[in-house]
Amino acid sequence: MTASEIGKLGEEAVCEYLAENGYRIVKRNYRIRGGEIDIIAENDEYIAFVEVKSRKPDSMVSGFEAVNKRKKSLIIKTASDYCCKNPSELQPRFDVAEVIIDGGAVNSIDYIFNAYDTTGYNFIF
């Protein structure tokens, strides 16, 4: 599988996971210049901006470690743009999902709700 195929498989698995847990997928691959959000999902309380990191079992860096300060900043900037264009009363939240894929199949999904917040960044929601 190519890296792109692995990424798409991981995103699809996380969408299914979110739907099973009461979320509605609002948007996938929301892009602005310099940023992208893999999944935007809502439930009755939150609008979740989800970064999905798909990995093979023997990866050197975990998906969670790959979401560094720079990546968080780009996601927050992109989420701010989305919220300006799509006002909502829901509480924004930033989640990270790590999907382990082996042989074209999803082995596991590790999901961190509210993985980080906007503290220290110049964006207000």
Secondary structure of residue 23 in the 3-state scheme: coil
pLDDT tens digits along 60-108: 999 999 999 999 999 999 999 999 999 999 999 999 999 999 988 999 9
CA dihedral 36, 92, 26, 45 (to 10 degrees): 160
User: How far is 48 from 122, CA to CA, in rounded Å?
Assistant: 19
Measure the CA–CA gap between 66 and 40, rounded to whole angstroms. Answer: 19
Q: Tell me the CATH architecture of domain 3-116.
A: 3-Layer(aba) Sandwich (3.40)
- Counting every residue, how long is the chain? 125
Read off the pLDDT of residues 21-50 as tens digits, 9 standing for 90 and up.
Answer: 999 999 999 999 989 999 999 999 999 999
Question: Cα(53)–Cα(113) distance, rounded to whole angstroms?
Answer: 14
Q: Which two tokens stand for residue 69?
A: 């300060």
Q: Which two tokens stand for residue 119?
A: 């503290």
* Domain locations along the chain: 3-116
Stated pTM of the model: 0.94
